[in-house]
Amino acid sequence: MEFSSIDFRLHAIQRMYERGITTTDVKEVVKSGNIVEEYPNDQPFPSYLLLGYINNSPLHVVVAIDNNTKKAIIITVYKPDVLLWKDEFKKRK
């Protein structure tokens, strides 16, 4: 996913801290992760659930993209739970 800059919402920063996830990890998923779900009607910008792997561990990142500025806005970040996801963390159970 292409972006000009990246902005972390407070919620995302808090969750990253709690879960031991680094900004480098998140940037890598935004840059090279795969779109798992799309939310085109989210406001104020469309958002996406991305899946990437960091050190062979799955990581989900919810990111909104301002299409005018191409700024990526990180909403939340988490390690997906095997009890809630199937198909290699690409589909909800």
User: pLDDT tens across 49-88, in order?
Assistant: 999 999 999 999 999 999 999 999 999 999 999 999 999 9
- CB-based contact 70:3 (threshold 8 Å): yes
When divided into structural domains, the chain yields a total of 1
Which of the 8 DSSP states describes residue 4? S
**Would you state the pLDDT for residue 2?**
77
- CB-based contact 8:21 (threshold 8 Å): no
- CB-based contact 73:66 (threshold 8 Å): yes
**Would you state the pLDDT for residue 3?**
85
User: pLDDT tens across 2-59, in order?
Assistant: 788 999 999 999 999 999 999 999 999 999 999 999 999 999 999 999 999 999 999 9
Taking the alpha carbons at both ends of the chain, their separation in whole angstroms is 26
- Which residue range is the domain that position 11 belongs to? 5-92
What CATH number corresponds to the domain at position 23? 3.30.2310
